[in-house]
Structure 1
Amino acid sequence: MQQQIQSALTSSPDSLPRQIAQQLNCSELEVLKQLPKDMVAFLEREQLEPLLKELPNFGKMTTIIQAGELIFEVKDVFPKGRIGHGYYNIGDPNSHLHGHLKLENIAHIALVSKPFRQSESHCFQFLDAQGHNLFKIYLGRDKRRQLLSEQLERFQAWKSNAQSFAEQ
Structure 2
Amino acid sequence: MPELTTQVRDLLAAEPRLRPADMARRLSVPEWELVSRLPETLIVTLPGVHAQTILERVSGWGRVTTIVEVAGSVFEVKASLPKGRIGHGYYNLLGKPGQLHGHLKLDAVANISLQSKPHRGKEAYAIVFYDADGGCIFKIYVGRDEQGTLFPEQVVAFNALKELKHV
Partner of 2:155: 152
Q: How many equivalent pairs are there?
A: 164
8 Å CA contact 2:84–2:93 kept in 1: the answer is yes
SS at match of 1:58: coil
Distance 1:124 1:94 in 2: 24
Query: Which shifted more, 38-47 or 71-80?
Result: 38-47
- Cα distance, 1:143 vs structure 2: 1.8
SS at match of 2:60: helix
- Cα distance, 1:93 vs structure 2: 2.0
Distance 1:101 1:24 in 2: 29
Distance 2:63 2:127 in 1: 14
Instruction: Select 1:47's aligned residue among 45, 50, 60.
Output: 50
Q: Percent identity?
A: 39
**Partner amino acid, structure 2, of 1:113:** S
Distance 2:79 2:137 in 1: 18
Mind listing any 5+ residue stretches in structure 2 that lack a counterpart? Answer: none
8 Å CA contact 1:79–1:94 kept in 2: the answer is no
1:21-60 aligned at under 5 Å gives the runs: 21-60=24-63
8 Å CA contact 1:55–1:78 kept in 2: the answer is yes
Distance 1:156 1:50 in 2: 14
Distance 1:114 1:143 in 2: 21
Distance 2:157 2:7 in 1: 34
SS at match of 1:124: strand
RMSD: 1.6
Distance 1:94 1:54 in 2: 21
| Residue 72 (str. 1) matches residue 63 (str. 2) | no
Mind listing any 5+ residue stretches in structure 1 that lack a counterpart? Answer: 164-168
8 Å CA contact 1:42–1:110 kept in 2: the answer is yes
TM-score w.r.t. the length of structure 1 is 0.91
8 Å CA contact 1:77–1:95 kept in 2: the answer is no
TM-score w.r.t. the length of structure 2 is 0.92
Partner of 1:130: 133
Partner of 1:101: 104
Query: Which shifted more, 40-49 or 130-139?
Result: 40-49
Distance 2:122 2:103 in 1: 32
Runs of 4+ aligned residues of structure 1 deviating over 3 Å after TM superposition are none
- Cα distance, 1:118 vs structure 2: 1.5
8 Å CA contact 2:112–2:129 kept in 1: the answer is yes
**Partner amino acid, structure 1, of 2:35:** L
